[in-house]
Amino acid sequence: MREAYHDQLGQLADRLADMCSMAGDAMERATASLLQADLAVAEQVIGDDAKIDDARASIEEQAYALLALQAPVATDLRIVLAVIHAAESVERMGDLALHVAKAARRRHPNRVLADTVEPYFAEMGRIAVNLAREATEVIRTQDVERARSMEDADDAMDDLHRHLFTVIMDKEWPHGVPSAVDTTLLGRFYERFADHAVSVAKRTVFVVTGRMPGYGGDIDD
């Protein structure tokens, strides 16, 4: 019975990792649709978002069943609770990729971004996807140091986001208010995607160490 129970916990973590990988794929495609004004790719992201939502619902159903039937304690309880919270963050990552794809669709056949800011979004997209990939591997490996190293990439995303805002606010911005609004919103989508990916990794640190990074206090086994 105990072995089967731990198999179920492992399956729960694997499903969360798969869901995180799906969110990374969604942002990768959404960024391509944004930079290339590719309607077909945007539509793929939009259509596939329901799969991420369904994955969260299925993960939560399994997690709540484990809580009800097994009454886990200590580390096992941390795993179940961490997965529930992390699945919410991953679903939001999928929603943010969806918002990017919808922006590309809304402006098609025109490009959403001005030429001057496209390089920023190419780099923000790269960082976002890499963070999702790293979070996926952190879930699978429970590598605490790998999780902590994600902070550097998140800082790089924050720096890009702040610099992008200064570009938009420059009085010489020649692309008009609608372009500035689109750019501001899209920058926020990428910045929040990165934050959620780091949050997922922090949940894994919590499982392994009993400490939630950025929060006070250890939690005893």
Closest CA to 63 of 80, 86, 41, 85: 80
- How many structural domains does the chain have? 1
pLDDT of residue 45: 98
Asked, for residue 20, whether it belongs to a domain, the answer is yes
The rounded distance, in Å, linking the Cα atoms of 168 and 183 is 8
Asked, for residue 84, whether it belongs to a domain, the answer is yes
pLDDT of residue 221: 35
The rounded distance, in Å, linking the Cα atoms of 191 and 87 is 18
CB 139, CB 194: distance < 8 Å: no
pLDDT of residue 211: 77
Output the domain CATH number for residue 41. Answer: 1.20.58.220
The rounded distance, in Å, linking the Cα atoms of 72 and 139 is 19
What burial class does residue 68 get, using C-beta atoms within 10 Å of its C-beta: 0-12 exposed, 13-18 middle, 19+ buried? Answer: exposed
Q: Which residues of the chain have pLDDT under 50?
A: 215-221
pLDDT of residue 210: 82
The rounded distance, in Å, linking the Cα atoms of 153 and 146 is 12
pLDDT of residue 217: 38
pLDDT of residue 68: 86
Asked, for residue 26, whether it belongs to a domain, the answer is yes
Task: Give alpha helix (H) positions in the chain.
Answer: 2-36, 39-70, 74-107, 118-141, 144-169, 176-209
The rounded distance, in Å, linking the Cα atoms of 99 and 202 is 25
pLDDT of residue 2: 60
Asked, for residue 220, whether it belongs to a domain, the answer is no
Neighbouring C-beta atoms of residue 3, cutoff 10 Å: 7
Q: In terms of residue numbers, what domain contains 12?
A: 2-209
Q: What is the pLDDT of residues 36-83, one digit of tens each?
A: 999 999 999 999 999 999 999 999 999 999 888 877 777 888 889 999
